[in-house]
Amino acid sequence: MSTQPHKPRLISYIRWSSQRQASGTTIERQTEAARLYAVENNLEYHEIRDEGVSAFKGKNSKKGGLADFIADVKRGVIPSDSWLYVENLDRLSRADVTTANELFLRLLRLGLTIVTGMDGKKFTLESVNQNPTDLMLSILLFMRANEESSTKQKRVFGNVAALVERHNQGQPVNIKSAGSSPWWIDHTGSQYEAVKPHPIHWSAAKKAIELLLQGWGCYRVAAYLNEHSDIFPPPKGNKGKGLKRGQSWAVANLKKMRVNRALIGEKVLTVNGQTYRLDGYFPLLCTETEFARIQEITESNKIPQGDQKRVITMLSGLGVLRCGNCGGSMSFFSHAGRLRYVCETGKNQTSACRVWSIQGRLVEALTVRAIIYGHTAKVLSGGAEVESLEPMIEDRKAALASVQEKVTNITMAITMGGNIASLVETLTSLEAEKSRLLIEIDKLQQRETLRGSDSDIDERIKQVIGLFTPELMEDITHPDRIQIREIVRSVLPVVTLSKRVDKALKIDFKFPDNSHLVYEGQMNGKEKAFCQYRKSPDDQAVDDIYSKIGMVFSQVMGESMAVTDPYHAAQLRMVAALGLPELNGKDFFGKR
């Protein structure tokens, strides 16, 4: 039985640093020459690539295809007698001569043979030791490559500075030589044309923003786009699990997208130690207020990882859930699809509170009732609001203008140099304050819009009531629960859970107007029961608002509710009509 003799590998290293090179003949030229050399020298052809990677600072030797290749040779995954083929030594490095030559010698010490396709020159550690001229030649080649890159870099710096100045004068620019454009942008025009929405991917980006503003997470957005890939084809570079690039929307890319300030038109680039922030560079995908809202939604909707990753509670992680016994926060755990809220400080033994928990099914069934009341009260009070909110809005706008002025000054200081780290820290703080004010103004303007207008009250209430389906209540991973969490943040600032010594449970919902809706376990003789009552701030009457809510429920839910029904009767019929869980007195008493 004959065996094939060992055939050394020829590893063709192909690198290019610009899109122009990628779309030209660079790749084809390097590949064809390497394949021909492998055939002529009886070598087994392999290939590694570094796409869009510059070798000027030696980045390719630390991260990417070349770095992985070096690591594999060290581990023995790739034989050390392999040949490394490069078109020219500058493909390996264009860094300063000492850095480049250190890389060159490191490759030779691994046992590799380096071949330059330009002249067919072979370098081995033995040949360099025996003929120092080879080493001197490599040094001269690296020096020339570095000088060329330095000259090119200076030319790029000058060009970027000129284009930045052109942008500041209000003229269109397309800065291709510094930084990149996001996938929803078309930057194929000349440097004197403005970048444009991508003809294919812009609509997908708009849809993604629309869904993110509704409270969707990136996993769900990616799934939606993949389900509708005939309408929203993924851009090159998106790579789903087990798929090739461009075949699937990648969650990671959507996560990067939602924090990218290019959404609001801003381009940030650093050239020659100077940082430029170019407002209005990209076409807008969303307003600054919408961008701030996306960040707020992202932060508030963070769900714990691990086994609980897919569980979406109505209350935890929003900063609203408190333990009535110790005042600490409450978290949750789930087992076999069942949810329980637990005192966090008691669990961690960081307070005098003993660890205790309450069934999530009960808390969330009550939360639904509180949300419907809170949302309805918010809509009705907004429609009946007499005093204009314009003074408050103008006050917040003045504060926003002051913050914006500081942002502009800090941005200018960063552009001019100075203590960059300190300036960036200040800018980050100001941007956070700006986002807070934008969200506050947005909420005030929504209330002002409602003031004096009852035309769409029924529709607003129906939209929320329609979310509470039996499926959503039973499935603690239901994606529509994310929308419920958004409503909770606007109508339930505090939810307090308590457990008395007699094991009776108390659930207290506090609303933005400081009124409360309370459910509490009580004994009726030997029977376990519960009561429901309302508390208002400063002894203000709440019967009027409850009467109005009862009337609105009657209109929204249909003729089955008499207009004369008081709030509690209307609520019971509403819950029955929606098929929501009924309340049981036994549930209001802990078992241990």
Highest mean pLDDT pick, 133-147, 279-293, 418-432, 568-582: 279-293
Q: Mean of the pLDDT values across residues 57-69?
A: 78
Residue 305 confidence (pLDDT): 44
26 — pLDDT class (breaks 50, 70, 90): low
- CB distance 383 to 450 below 8 Å: yes
Residue 341 has pLDDT above 80, yes or no: yes
Residue 559 confidence (pLDDT): 42
DSSP states of 512-564 as a string? TTS-EEEEEEEEETTEEEEEEEEE-GGG---HHHHHHHHHHHHHHH-TTS-TT
82 — pLDDT class (breaks 50, 70, 90): very high
Task: Tell the residue number behind the tokens 């070598």, with chain if given.
Answer: 43
Residue 297 confidence (pLDDT): 76
Highest mean pLDDT pick, 51-55, 108-112, 489-493: 108-112
**Minimum mean pLDDT range among 38-47, 125-134, 212-221, 558-567:** 558-567
Of residues 500 and 145, the one with the higher pLDDT is 500
Task: Tell the residue number behind the tokens 């934008």, with chain if given.
Answer: 438
- Domain spans of the chain? 9-148, 172-224+252-286, 302-384+459-588, 390-451
Q: What value does the mean pLDDT of the chain take?
A: 78
Residue 451 confidence (pLDDT): 54
Residue 137 has pLDDT above 80, yes or no: no
Q: Mean of the pLDDT values across residues 357-371?
A: 88
User: Which run of H or of E encompasses 358?
Assistant: strand 357-359
Residue 386 confidence (pLDDT): 47
What does the DSSP 8-state code read for residue 282?
A: S
Separation in Å, CA 32 to CA 9, 15, 27, 85: 16, 14, 9, 12
Residue 563 confidence (pLDDT): 38
Residue 543 confidence (pLDDT): 53
User: Which run of H or of E encompasses 486?
Assistant: helix 481-491
What does the DSSP 8-state code read for residue 387?
A: S
Q: Mean of the pLDDT values across residues 543-562?
A: 52
Of residues 245 and 159, the one with the higher pLDDT is 159
Handedness of CA 416, 418, 421, 426 (dihedral sign): negative
Residue 132 confidence (pLDDT): 74
Rounded CA separation 400/419 (Å): 25
- CB distance 113 to 35 below 8 Å: no
564 — pLDDT class (breaks 50, 70, 90): very low
- CB distance 291 to 261 below 8 Å: yes
Residue 199 confidence (pLDDT): 93
Handedness of CA 90, 94, 97, 101 (dihedral sign): negative
Residue 560 confidence (pLDDT): 42
Q: Mean of the pLDDT values across residues 180-188?
A: 89
Separation in Å, CA 346 to CA 287, 499, 507, 520: 43, 13, 18, 22
Residue 512 confidence (pLDDT): 85
Give exposure, 335-366, as e/b (b: 16+ Cβ within 10 Å).
Answer: eeeebbbbbbbbbeeeeebeebbbbbbbbbbb
What does the DSSP 8-state code read for residue 299?
A: H
- Quick one: how far is CA 75 from the chain centroid? 36
Give me 245's structure tokens: 């690039």
Give me 72's structure tokens: 């594999």
Residue 530 has pLDDT above 80, yes or no: yes
Residue 482 has pLDDT above 70, yes or no: yes
Residue 1 confidence (pLDDT): 43
Fold of 9-148: Rossmann fold (3.40.50)
Task: Give the tens place of pLDDT for each residue, 425-468.
Answer: 787 788 888 888 887 787 777 666 655 444 455 566 666 777 77
Residue 73 confidence (pLDDT): 92
Q: Mean of the pLDDT values across residues 390-404?
A: 82
Q: Are strands 44-51 and 9-16 parallel, antiparallel or unpaired?
A: parallel
Residue 456 confidence (pLDDT): 56
- CB distance 228 to 214 below 8 Å: no
pTM of the entire predicted model? 0.48
Residue 19 has pLDDT above 60, yes or no: no
**Residue 508, phi then psi, degrees to nearest 5:** -115, 115
**Minimum mean pLDDT range among 32-36, 248-252, 364-368, 461-465:** 461-465
Of residues 463 and 133, the one with the higher pLDDT is 133
SS3 assignment for 334-354: EECCEEEEEEHHHHCCCCCCC
Please state the length of the chain.
Answer: 592
**Minimum mean pLDDT range among 77-86, 261-270, 341-350, 521-530:** 341-350
Residue 565 confidence (pLDDT): 43
**Minimum mean pLDDT range among 176-180, 244-248, 369-373, 374-378:** 244-248
Task: Give the tens place of pLDDT for each residue, 201-256.
Answer: 999 999 999 988 887 778 888 988 998 888 999 987 655 555 554 578 988 889 89
**Is residue 99 packed enough to be buried (19+ CB in 10 Å), middle (13-18) or exposed (0-12)?**
middle
Residue 562 has pLDDT above 60, yes or no: no
Residue 333 confidence (pLDDT): 84
**Minimum mean pLDDT range among 92-96, 243-247, 310-314, 515-519:** 243-247
Of residues 237 and 181, the one with the higher pLDDT is 181
